[in-house]
Structure 1
Amino acid sequence: MSDAAGGRWTAGDQPVSIGSMTLYPVPESVSRARRWFRKFMDPYELNCSMDECLVMISELVTNAILYGEAEEPWRVRVDWWRVGESLRVDVHNPGFPAQVRMRCAAADEAHGRGLCLVNALADSWSAGPSRFGGTMVSFLVDGAWKP
């Protein structure tokens, strides 16, 4: 299930912060985000695919870097949460929420599949305003923790 309209999940459980990172808006930050997420999440022994989570983080951080806009220096922020038995990852940038859209790239296009991948791998995703200003794009993986 996807929610590209900017809705929020209401799982009934309060989100518990597991970690966060702040990244410079440069291409090297994508691999850094993957490394740090894996490092911080390995001890939790997730009940979901770490590789799929890393693909989704890579895509959202890449999009945040490509589409973030600000007149002053800015950063990409990544937060991850436990919501009941689910894992939620939020990626923030200073871009405009209305510009987030899933598109279907042609077979010969090198870009344009990020949100399609997130849509295929996540149980749900959402885009909307960030509490820091700008945009937040999130994904949710159900059953990431054992009950």
Structure 2
Amino acid sequence: MAYAIDRCPCAESPRLDAMTWHPVAESAPRARRWFRKFVTPYQLSCSIDDCVLLLSELVTNAVVHGTSDAPWLVRVEWFRVKASLRVEVHNPGPPERVRLRCPEANDAHGRGLLVDSAADSWHAGPSHFGGTVVSFEMANAWPPS
């Protein structure tokens, strides 16, 4: 698994779709349903269940950790990057707060291990919308042509 803080390399990759969600708890299940409906026609080679789980985790984290003095939204974008699927979740929170941690054994949150273990790679850094972007990639998501 890989972790990097970077700028989005997707600027030249085709964005497949995007959606914005209010920063409320109901956004995670809505994002899961929308994503599953969106990707079904693509017949992806990677695990859709893993993608849905990771998306849910990132949207939940964006809702919990995003901050702004003004009203804000969680933005989700999907990209095809060669044969990989890249999912980005943007929020107005500060990017330096996103990192893989080694918490105490009794800490209930904050590990980042789910995304690190299920995705082929994940990235966090400043969003080109302002705030933070956290993304994951699933390699070989599209069947060979």
TM above 0.5, yes or no, is yes
Structure 1 residue 104: Cα displacement: 3.5
Q: How many residues in Structure 1 have an aligned counterpart in Structure 2?
A: 144
Paired residue secondary structure (2:15): strand
Is 1:135 aligned with 2:132? yes
Residue identity opposite 1:18 in structure 2:
L
Equivalent residue, structure 1, for 2:3: 3
Fraction of identical pairs, as percent: 55
For residue 125 of structure 1, report the CA deviation from its aligned partner.
0.7
Conserved? CA contact 2:7–2:126, under 8 Å: no
Alignment of 1:1-147 (within 5 A): 1-6=1-6, 14-113=12-111, 115-147=112-144
Q: What TM-score does the superposition give when structure 2 sets the normalisation length?
A: 0.91
| Matched residue type, 2:132 | T
User: Structure 2: 5+ residue runs without aligned partners?
Assistant: none
Task: Return 5+ residue gaps in structure 1 as ranges.
Answer: none
- Counterpart amino acid of 2:3? D
Which consecutive aligned stretches of 4+ in structure 1 deviate over 6 angstroms post-superposition? none
Tell me the TM-score normalised to structure 1 length: 0.90
Deviation at 1:4, TM superposition (A): 3.3
CA distance in 2, matches of 1:25, 1:80: 19
Q: CA RMSD in A?
A: 1.8
